[in-house]
Structure 1
Amino acid sequence: MEKTSAAFSCTHCCVFLIWLFLAASASTADLALNFYAASCPSAEFIVRNTVRSASDLDPTVPGKLLRLLFHDCFVEGCDASVLLQGTGTERSDPANTSLGGFAVIDSAKRLLEVFCPGTVSCADIVALAARDAVEFSGGPVAQIPTGRRDGKVSAASNVRPNIVDTSFTMDEMIKLFSSKGLSLVDLATLSGAHTIGSAHCSAFRDRFKQDPKGKFTLIDTSLDNVYAEELMEQCPAGANQSTTVKNDPKTSFAFDNQYYQNLLAHRGLFQSDSILLTDGRTRKQVEIFAQDQVSFFQSWTESFLKLASIGVKTGDEGEIRASCPTTNA
């Protein structure tokens, strides 16, 4: 009996050691807080200062950096594939040609290559820059782990099937968010990113119709009439394709809960915004966030972490690019 027990214990000991080894190996490939503490202690400080300087010079930068993260993570995961330049890349797709903030990412990368060459990924820079952009706009401080690696694949054909179109129905949005591991609450929360940033007129033109004389009239009855008139004035027929309007006309550069208050007033810029109020599955969440900014901020830190962790490449996957617009030779 004692011999059997000893053998049993030894067997379990070996199993435990094997499990411990595998767990340790797996953990080294995971994201971690202070991932660069030893290899590049100033990494987050450099990104933070770069974002701060750029935002001080141009208040539209935070909105651009936040949007850049969304468009990166939803296609191929958070691997900086959206930064790659060239014919047929994600960046060349019409859905991404209006993206901005690339110069900020490139600036941070150049500095990091001076102090810590070949160490900090472009994917981490994009995630950290978006995190800092929210904070500098008055939003919550979010702790996110690092250790992402850069992808080598970037195809324009992957963009449209993985990006939310402003004309999407709720079912279409839920299906897409679910495929990324994001819940209905995440959908309602992350839509709050529209509290900063701007949009081109073409992004919401489907809510209006143009008569033979070129005049626009409202066809989306879920939109406040006064707000609709304001939009038509800002985006008249023949407006330059580069013309933009603020996502949130009240507090354009402040990351707050005004976006949800706008929705309650039927002043959501996109159809995909307004539907959060008209659909019973998300209306309650909109009402909660509109009344309680603390609740929105708490939910944001959780959902943002999930967003910035979609399909990450770690360990031996991908690479650490020397330059964000190109893969290593």
Structure 2
Amino acid sequence: MENRRVILSIAVSSLFVFSFVDSFSLDFYAASCPSAEFIIRDIVTSSSSNDPSIPGKLLRLVFHDCFVEGCDASLMLIGNNTEQTDPGNRSVGGYSVIESAKRALELLCPETVSCADIIALAARDAVGIAGGPMVQIPTGRRDGMVSLASNVRPNIVDTSFTMDEMVKLFTSKGLSVLDLVILSGAHTMGVAHCNAFRDRFQQDAEGRLTLVDKTLDSSYAAELMKQCSTSTMASTITVNNDPETPMVFDNQYYRNLLAHKGLFQSDSALLNENSTRTMVEDFANDQELFFENWGQAFLKLTSVGVKTEDEGEIRRSCASTNNA
């Protein structure tokens, strides 16, 4: 296992060597707003205490933001035909936490801390609060000016994606197959609507569900069919991504996969190839290994399409551009 630990860590590091510059660095707010990260962490902590589902929501939020237009808070913009209006984003939550942090920071350090940085830092803190590793990430992201619903569907993973489809999308973002397996571990938290995995079941004329995807554990499938009854399969009912430890960031996701209890087809697809199955097995057997590799993969994720210096702006409100 020690050799495997070294191999995985080297694989991640060799794929991403980040050159920190003044406009995107670990101490970017040291002079302009030194308490920025503390304020964000405090708000994420208090919000999570009031609502244990917040960490999972913030983690999903950063994925959906960074994969479309890069990590630039384009998902936060409100309006006709913005990213929020796409069906794939209508169930994304955590916006209020980001806005709360933004309001606090605007009082202390006006027009200084970007919404994009708040999203990335809040997701980072959410993982730590839920029991996962605390990761250092650079700041200095600027907020984007473009948010279009038409950009969402081609840039986010659909729960029915095959391995090839996921690899193609991740590669387009500068992320490797190893990153794909590591970042899929985010499904150890959060919830999903029943219609996100409805293609694993078949509904007859009388509305009764039967399992058609035989890769899914039968007892787990029976529980899902019970929770997603005929009247709720396409409604607002949600189930936990991880049926075992849904509010904890741990390696249970990989254990679930090996037990054929991955909620989505895109989860189960990780077992279809020997290389990715081996990674799943390693992370399932060694939580420390998963945590070590999570840090590098999360750093890469939150660096996708980053805007710095004269790109974008520092929004006064995350919901609108400054000239709106």
TM normalised by structure 1 equals 0.91
Match of 2:74 among 81, 84, 89: 81
Distance 1:241 1:83 in 2: 24
Residue 31 of structure 1 aligns with an amino acid whose one-letter code is F
TM alignment of 1:1-329, pairs within 5 A? 30-239=23-232, 241-329=235-323
Cα deviation, residue 90, structure 1 = 0.4
Q: Secondary structure at the match of 2:314?
A: coil
Shift of 1:34: 1.6
Instruction: Show structure 1 runs of 4+ deviating over 6 A.
Output: none
User: Distance between the aligned counterparts of 2:230 and 2:27, measured in 1?
Assistant: 51
CA distance in 2, matches of 1:112, 1:238: 44
**Aligned AA (1:80):** A
Aligned counterparts of 1:48 and 1:123: Cα–Cα separation in 2:
15
Amino acid aligned to 2:319: P
- Contact residue 24 and residue 138 of structure 2 kept, 8 A: yes
- Secondary structure of the structure 2 residue equivalent to 1:206: helix
Structure 1: which amino acid aligns with 2:289? S
**C-alpha separation in 2, matches of 1:46 and 1:292:** 33
Unaligned runs of 5+ in 2: 1-18
Offset, 1:28: 5.1
Report Cα offsets for 1:122-157 as digits up to 9, x if no partner: 000000000000000000010000000000000000
- Structure 1, residues 165-215: CA drift from partner, whole Å, max 9, x if none? 000000000000000000010000000000000000000000000011111
Q: Distance in 2 between matches of 1:273 and 1:28?
A: 36
Partner-residue secondary structure (3-state), 2:210: strand
The one-letter amino acid of 1:202's match is N
> 1:281-308 CA distances to partner (integer Å, 9 max, x unpaired)?
3100000000000000011000000000
Deviations 1:18-65 (A, max 9, x none): xxxxxxxx9656410021000000100010000000000000000000
Tell me the amino acid that sits aligned with residue 205 of structure 1.
Answer: R
Which secondary structure state, in structure 2, belongs to the residue aligned with residue 233 of structure 1?
helix
Which 5+ residue runs of structure 1 have no aligned equivalent?
1-25
Q: Distance in 2 between matches of 1:51 and 1:213?
A: 45
Q: CA RMSD in A?
A: 1.0
Secondary structure of 1:209's match?
Answer: strand
- Aligned residue for 1:95, secondary structure, equals helix
Matched-pair contact (CA < 8 Å) for 1:29–1:314: no
Q: Is the CA contact (8 Å cut-off) linking 1:140 and 1:297 kept in structure 2?
A: yes
1:23 — aligned with what?
none
TM-score normalised to the size of structure 2? 0.92
Secondary structure in structure 1 of the residue aligned to 2:89: coil
Work out which of the two has the higher radius of gyration on C-alpha atoms and give 1 or 2.
1
Q: Secondary structure at the match of 2:103?
A: helix
SS at match of 2:88: coil
Distance in 2 (CA, whole Å) between partners of 1:38 and 1:264 is 48
User: In the alignment, is the contact (CA less than 8 A) between 1:68 and 1:126 conserved in 2?
Assistant: yes
Q: Give the residue type in structure 2 aligned to 1:265.
A: A
SS in 1 for 2:192: strand
